[in-house]
Structures are given as C-alpha cells and as structure tokens.
Amino acid sequence: MYRDTPHPIHRRDYRPPEFLIDHVELRFDLDPDRTRVEASLEVRRNPAATRGDGTLRLHGEQLDLEEVAIDGHRLAPAEYRVEPDSLTLQRVPDRFRLDTRVRIHPNLNTALEGLYQSGDMLCTQCEAEGFRRITYFLDRPDVMARYRTTLIADKGRFPVLLSNGNRVEERELVDGRHLVSWEDPFPKPSYLFALIAGDLSAIEDRFTTASGRDVVLQIFVEPHNLDRCDHAMQSLKKAMRWDEERFGREYDLDVYMIVAVSHFNMGAMENKGLNVFNDKFVLARADTATDEDFQGIEGVIAHEYFHNWSGNRITCRDWFQLSLKEGFTVYRDQEFSADVGSRGVKRVADVRLLQAHQFPEDSSPMAHPVRPDSYFEINNFYTATVYNKGAELVRMQATLLGPELFRKATDLYFTRHDGQAVTTDDFVRCMEDVSGRDLMQFRRWYSQAGTPHLHIEAAYDAERATYSLLIRQAIAPTPGEPDKDPLHLPLAIALLDPQGRELALRLEGEPNAGEPGTRILELRDWETRLCFVDVPVRPVPSLLRGFSAPVQPRFDYGDDDLLLLLRHDSDGYSRWNAARILMQRVLSTMIADPEAEVPGRFVEAFRGALTDPETDKALLAEVLTLPSESFLGDQMETVDVDGIHRARNTLREILGERLVEELLSVYRDNADVERYAPTPDAIGRRALKNLALGYLMAAGDARALTLCRAQFAGAGNMTDAIAALRLLVDHGGEDGTSALEAFHRRWSKEPLVIDKWFSVQATSSRAGTLGIVTGLLQHPDFSLRNPNRVRSLVGAFCTANPARFHARDGGGYRFLADRVLELDPLNPQIAARLLKALIRWRRYDAGRQALMRTEIERILAAEELSSDTFEVASKALEDTEHPAR
Ligand code: B3K
Ligand code: ZN
C-alpha cells in the first residue's frame, strides 16, 4: 500500500499565489549523469493576493540542493527547510532575488518528466508539474515569468543546444565545451519551459506572416531521419496560414522550432517556440508511415502550433482549467483538418473517437466533468473528457453563436486575455459578451459529468400536416454527482421526404417556412415538445446532424427510415450513423442467436453503398466498417465478449462471401500503382480498397489470399503493407509467420515501423495471441522504458484486442497487472494509463468481474505505488452510492 496515502487537490481551494516571479535566469551545466542547475529568480509579493506571514514555499522534487541565497547572501541550512517536494523560506522580503543551485540526474529519470535522457539526447517535459524536477520554483500556471536560459555542454556530444525564444549568445569554452543563451520575451508559465541538447540536424524553411514578419522554421531530428520531415514542415506552414485566416492569429517569435524525440509520454508538447514531439508525430516517408500517421502528423503539428495562442499567450489559471487550452485547441485542430481535408469524413472520425473513448470514460468510475473539481494526480486528467468533450463544448458554442459571432468572440478572448492565466468561465464570458446571450445554463456542461441521453419520439398527423417531436434528456448519476440538471444544447435537425429531399421547416407559431435544410433547435429542459407545421408527408428525421452535441440520441427508426438516410442524407454523420444502427441491429440478433440469418435487405443495402459511385470513398470506408467490438460491448447491459467477437466475425465472413464480386472490383478499381500521396482522395481509395480486402479475407476467398500476398510483397507504401500484413497474420499459418519475419528483417533499424510490427501481433484475433505477446516482452527490441514500445505491445493488446484481453480465464488481466506493477516505479504516467483498461470491470459478467477486481486489488496492495496508479486503482474500486459502470 502507498506509504503516505496521497491527498486530493480541490478546485475550490484555489488561491492566487502570494508571490510572483517576474524574471528567471537559468544556467545549466549539462551532463546526463549529473547536471548542475543554477536559478536566479526575481520574486515579489503579489499585490492581488492576501498578505500572509512572508513564508515562501517553492515546489521541488528529486533535486539535490547545494546552495540558496537571498539577494546575494548565502543562507545557512537552518534558514530554510527542505522537504521531498518543497523548499520553504520564512519571512522573505517583499521583493528580492533568490538564487539556488541544484544537481539533477537526467539518466536516472525514467518517468520522462523534467530533464531526461532520450537516446543520445537530453530533453525536457514540464507539463504539468515537471519543472519542479529541474529547479525550485512556483510551479503553477498562474505564475508567468520571462526566461533567460544558458546551456553549457560538451560540444562534441551536444553540438545543438536549444531553449525557448531567440538565441542571444553563443561561444566556445575551454575543454571542448560550448555555451548558448536563449531569451524568451514572452512571459510564460513554467510548464512551457523546454531545453534540448543533442547531435541533431535540421530542415529549415521560412514563413512570412500576414503582417510581413519573417519567421525561420526548423525541424530538428537525428541526422538519419532528415529525409522524413517534409510532411511535418508542410503541415506547419499550412497550419500557420490557416490560423491567420480563420482565427486572425499570427506567430510572434522570429523562430519556430520542433524537435523529434523517441522517448515521450504523450504526442507532443507546445513549449513556447520550441515544440518537443514524440517522433511518431514528425517522421513520415511513404514507405515507413501509414495514411493514418500522415494525418496524425498534420493534426498534431497543427495542434501544438495553435497552442501558441490557445494555451501559451493565454494560459490556464490552474490545472482544473486544462480544457480551456486543450478543448479549444482540439476544436481548432479539428476545424483545420476539416478545412484542408474532407469535412464530413473528419467529423465522422472525430465522433467515432469521442464515442470510443469519451463516452466510456463518462460512464466509468473515473467519470469527471470537463472542468474537474478534484484530482490526486493531474497527469491522470489529460483525458478524452478534457480534450475531446472539451472540444465539443467549444463546437456547441460556435453552433449557438454562428460563425460571425463566434469569430468575434474568439477575437475578444484573444485580446482581452492576452498574457493572462484564465478560466473556462472567462472563455464563455467572451461568448456572452459579443452575442448578448445568456450562457449560464450552458456552463453546466463544464461542471457536470456524464453523457446525456436524448430520447426522441415523433408523431405525424396527416390530417393536420403536423410533425411533432417530444425530446427528453436523461443523465445517469456519476461518482459524486447523484443528481443532474438538464443541459442547454443545440440539436441540428432536418426532415427528409420519402425521396430523401430536405423539407422546408416551419415551427408552430412561426410566420413562414425557412429554406429547406438544417435547423438548429435549442434544448434547455428535461422535456421539450416541438411541432412542425405544413409537413406534407410523413418525414424521416435526420437527427443531431453533424453530431451537434455530445449526446446519445435514441429514436425508434424503422429499417426503411435508416435505409433512406443511408442512401440520401446529405449529412455525413447521419449517413454513417444510419449504417451503424443497421449493422448493430443485425449484430445484436446474431449475438443473441448464433443461428440467426443475415437479412437479405441488409446485404443489398451494403451492396448498394459499396457500389455507390457518388460518395466520397473515405466516407464510404467509414460507413462500411462494422462497429468495433468495444462499441458493440458499450451498447449492451453486460458485455458479451465472446458473443460479440463471434457475431462480428461471422457477419464479416457472410458479407465477404455474398459480395465477393463487388468487393473484388472495388479492390481492383482502387488499387493504383501511382506515386504515393497522402491526399484525401488517395487516402480514401486506399481505405476502401483495404476494407474490401479485409472482407474478402474474412470470407476465406482464395483470390483474396493471392491479392493479399501480392499486396504485401509489392506494396509501395506502408498503408498497404501494414494492411496486408495484419490480414496475413490473422489468416495465420506460414503466410503470417513468413510475412512477420520479412517485415522485421526489412525494418529492423526503424523503431517506428517496429512499433507497428509489435502492434500487429498484439491485436491479432488469433487464439494464441496472449502467449505471443508475453513472449514478445523478451524480444531484444522490446523495452519497458520506451512509451511508444509499451503502447505498441501492451497498450495495443489491452485496449484494441477485447476478445483476447478479456479471455475468460483472466490471463489478459493478470498480464496487464503484471506490466502495471513493473512499470509503476519506472514511469507512473504510462502505468496509470494502462491500468485504465480495467476500470470498467463492472460492465462484465460475474466471473470476469471477480478476475478483474482481483488484479486491481493486487495492484493496490503493492508496497509502493505512485499517486498516478493509486488514483486509478482506488477509484476503480470505490463503492459509491451509484457506482458508475
Ligand atoms: N499539452 C501537452 C500534454 C502534456 C501532458 C502532460 N502529462 C500536449 C498537448 O495537448 O498539446
Ligand atoms: Zn494540447
């Protein structure tokens, strides 16, 4: 058990800092074993805070303190107090200079927070609370300071020395060392500090901002990776232009640097002027990276760039406000990708992600509001709720205000709060101030957890030509929130006639009908009744168009209605959703009755969609993908792990058999040999082609196996290669084994490709997968110290292979718990994240519940446990009055 039980931090306890730090001067003598950090802080009392007794408590962890001085006077040890997480000074003056000198040990830092070693480089990660592992500081986002940073290191080993801002000095020192100084003119919170030391090369480009300023753009990588940075650079330039055009935001420094590192806990980090990236989100070449990788890079490069305004110049007052920057920035990157790619497809992908990660989280023991009220460990709150539901809240505000007012509101936000650390409430106030609307009720979205259900009933009165809707909201209790309040939300709706044409809509009491198309209704109450008049025929409602609110709609559609929506709806989300409801209906019947027939009309509808020449191919690929096993499980009272797996495989097989000719021609029509390009059109064609191949392989068609072997052997890009490899491995036998061997041989020097090699094996549905995954832990390429590797093997098995992870004998659960216990002392963030795979144990049958519970208890019983893992494990077992499932 954790020795001193960690205590929660509460939002209500927020107080402005008693002291501020205006300027920071840092001097690093860099060495992987032993780095010396000298800090000189200009400290003063905060006039806006209540005056205390002059005690200054600085955060600091794992620092060997050597010296403390106030205004140049060295303090005796009796004049300060050092604790494991702090340095306390009593009765300090109202304004003074504080000098400290500490030693830190980057090569022992396996948690990858603070200053650490990644391969031959030194790098930093300070968000959320990593800066306190570098030096003593007020490590909270509402303390914003200007930084000057001097880096000293051996020039042979670390020829490149980078930090935030502009380079202001550079010189050689004795003994082969050199010194570089950086100055960042913009005040920033400590979590945005960064430094890099390494033997790196850069590709360089330039960007001229809207007002004519010239900016140097650099991407630093290890020299052998220089040939795979172009896509990242192009993405950066697109993002910079887009932010000027769409949000009026210009870049503000003379240089923008991106560095790719191979050991990184998250995707990337938006440090001011010096983004540090997981190399997975920088490096791409057609033969090494998939379409998904290319799109991921474009999105993440944009996301981190957009943070320069939504996050850096305007930051969070405290970590409860994390969604202020993350929700808004995700919204911005989603809109960017929609604009440069295909809007409908992007929306479907975002909704799929939200439903796959955020909805389950919202009904789990870790459910929390977008603005949480408490946490043990903030690193556990970089969640789908804060990021993706947070983005939906911004999107709803944009919908409620409309594009012009929303732009005015963001302009106001950026000017009003530039240079400040603010709250989500401040953001909403800008929306209110420009629109004159009252968003008091809307704010509940930030404070209330749980996914609302919308139960919608409709009645058509042919005689009166009216169509009335009854819409009821329901929100299940979540931990600590037994009672919920109704939410204010935009419901986008259209009514289609039997030919699939949109009707002009007029609500009762309105003078005239509007143009045919989408109508935004605003819901505020538990129950809303609406009546459309002059409705000539019984319409089919196209509900929640564009997924206008993060809710679960329930409407009792007839199969014919769904077929109509699937065929005719102009809204991509609605078409995709109609297909999914149809598939889900067929699958639930098959789960309940293994002998059930697949209805012929369903197969025909599938055939119709597959051969529809009109539709965007990427959207078609989304529409024709069966709902995932996890999604199907989420829709059930108790997850039927084996039934779902069996039914889904059977349906794939049947569709593959019945549609073999159509699938073969879709495959052929989209199997181009032209040069690889990650354009939306080409990506869509590859997605559709590989989807077709998947169905064909499921049916065990001999021609499919030939095509699959040929595709694997001859693929000119990683998307096709990995798609074929995955299918061959699932097919098994000699084909799978030899493909895996060939793939490893070819890519053994490419860590990011080897990650894929591990993932393919971890997610295979073959029966012996757990044994294979366990064996792979001993593979010379595997390491628990590299988060990408851990995610590619352990993470992939536990989150993307439900049939094997949830094996009835509990082997998967034991495997996970063993890894969590091994990882926790090394890297608590990654350990805690893995453990989340067990958090919804109450959703399973009694046998599995008991097995999962046993493993969580075993983790909680460990001698020492990080606060990260402790929080997840203890919340998983918490018995609340309304245990969320
Ligand atoms: N802001 C970082 C996340 C930092 C995670 C700290 N545990 C990446 C991003 O959202 O842009
Ligand atoms: Zn972010």
pLDDT for the residue numbered 6: 83
When pLDDT is cut at 50, 70 and 90, the band that residue 2 belongs to is: very low
Interhelix angle 343-353/572-592, nearest 10 degrees:
40
- 283 Ramachandran zone, left/alpha/beta (phi>0; psi -120 to 50): beta
Q: Tell me which of 47-51, 233-237, 579-583 is least confident.
A: 47-51
pLDDT for the residue numbered 884: 64
* Ligand 1 pocket member 386 (CB < 6 A): no
* Ligand 1 pocket member 127 (CB < 6 A): yes
* Ligand 1 pocket member 326 (CB < 6 A): yes
Ligand 1 atom showing the smallest separation from residue 311 Cα: 1
Q: Tell me which of 130-134, 512-516, 629-633, 867-871 is least confident.
A: 512-516
Residue type at 49 in one-letter notation: A
Give 490 Cα–ligand 2 centroid separation in angstroms.
26
pLDDT for the residue numbered 565: 98
CATH topology of domain 315-447: Neutral Protease; domain 2 (1.10.390)
Ligand 1, pocket-test mutation among 382, 383, 387, 866, most atoms within 8 A of CB: 382
Residue type at 269 in one-letter notation: M
Ligand 1 atom showing the smallest separation from residue 303 Cα: 11
Rg, the chain, Cα only: 28
Does residue 814 carry a pLDDT above 90?
Answer: yes
Query: Could you tell me the CA-to-CA distances from 492 to 545, 573, 703 in Å, in that order?
Result: 5, 12, 45
pLDDT for the residue numbered 674: 75
Indicate the helix (H) or strand (E) that contains 728.
Answer: helix 718-731
Give 323 Cα–ligand 2 centroid separation in angstroms.
9
pLDDT for the residue numbered 881: 54
Give 306 Cα–ligand 2 centroid separation in angstroms.
9
CATH superfamily, with its number, for domain 453-486+488-555: Aminopeptidase N, middle-beta domain (2.60.40.1840)
Taking Cα atoms as reference points, which of 450, 442, 353, 449 lies closest to residue 398? Answer: 442
When pLDDT is cut at 50, 70 and 90, the band that residue 5 belongs to is: confident
Does residue 4 carry a pLDDT above 90?
Answer: no
Among protein residues, the one with the nearest Cα to ligand 1's atom 10 is: 326
Identify whether the C-beta of residue 391 lies closer than 8 Å to the C-beta of residue 306.
Answer: no
Report pLDDT digits (tens) over 526-569: 999 999 999 999 999 999 999 999 999 999 999 999 999 999 99
When pLDDT is cut at 50, 70 and 90, the band that residue 1 belongs to is: very low
State in words which class domain 1-197 has.
mainly beta
Spatial neighbors of 562 by CB under 8 A, at least 6 apart, are 578, 579, 581, 582
- Looking at residues 181-190, what average pLDDT do you find? 98
Q: Which is catalytic among the residues 270, 304, 855, 871?
A: 304
Among protein residues, the one with the nearest Cα to ligand 1's atom 5 is: 127
Among protein residues, the one with the nearest Cα to ligand 1's atom 4 is: 127
Whole-angstrom distance, CA of residue 619 vs CA of residue 345:
5
- Residues less than 5 Å from ion ligand 2, measured at CB: 326, 329
Ligand 1 atom showing the smallest separation from residue 379 Cα: 7
Phi, psi dihedrals of residue 375, rounded to the nearest 5°: -155, 155
Among protein residues, the one with the nearest Cα to ligand 1's atom 6 is: 127
Give 92 Cα–ligand 2 centroid separation in angstroms.
37
Q: Catalytic site residue 292?
A: no
- The average confidence (pLDDT) of the chain is 97
What is the CATH number that goes with domain 200-308? 3.30.2010.30
Report pLDDT digits (tens) over 146-176: 999 999 999 999 999 999 999 999 999 999 9
Report pLDDT digits (tens) over 68-125: 999 999 999 999 999 999 999 999 999 999 999 999 999 999 999 999 999 999 999 9
**Ligand closest in space to the Cα of 270:** 1
When pLDDT is cut at 50, 70 and 90, the band that residue 882 belongs to is: low
What is the CATH number that goes with domain 748-885? 1.25.50.10
* Ligand 1 pocket member 396 (CB < 6 A): no
Give 319 Cα–ligand 2 centroid separation in angstroms.
13
Q: For residue 30, give the DSSP letter.
A: -
Give 617 Cα–ligand 2 centroid separation in angstroms.
30
* Ligand 1 pocket member 467 (CB < 6 A): no
Does residue 423 carry a pLDDT above 50?
Answer: yes
**The two three-digit tokens of residue 427, written as one number:** 């953001």
* Ligand 1 pocket member 328 (CB < 6 A): no
- Looking at residues 841-847, what average pLDDT do you find? 98
Report pLDDT digits (tens) over 573-582: 999 999 999 9
Q: Could you check whether 1-197 and 453-486+488-555 share the same CATH topology?
A: yes
Helices (H), 474-628: 559-568, 572-592, 600-610, 617-623
- Looking at residues 451-468, what average pLDDT do you find? 98
Give 174 Cα–ligand 1 centroid separation in angstroms.
38
Query: Could you tell me the CA-to-CA distances from 709 to 303, 455, 759 in Å, in that order?
Result: 38, 48, 20
3-class state of residue 298 by DSSP: helix
Indicate the helix (H) or strand (E) that contains 821.
Answer: helix 811-823
Phi, psi dihedrals of residue 81, rounded to the nearest 5°: -125, 130
- Looking at residues 231-245, what average pLDDT do you find? 99
Report pLDDT digits (tens) over 741-778: 999 999 999 999 999 999 999 999 999 999 999 999 99
* Ligand 1 pocket member 129 (CB < 6 A): no
The upper half-sphere exposure of residue 556, i.e. CA atoms within 13 Å in the direction of its Cβ, equals 5
pTM > 0.95: yes or no: yes
Report pLDDT digits (tens) over 651-684: 999 999 999 999 999 999 999 767 899 999 999 9
pLDDT for the residue numbered 615: 86
- Looking at residues 370-381, what average pLDDT do you find? 98
Domain boundaries, the chain: 1-197, 200-308, 315-447, 453-486+488-555, 748-885
**The two three-digit tokens of residue 264, written as one number:** 């990184």
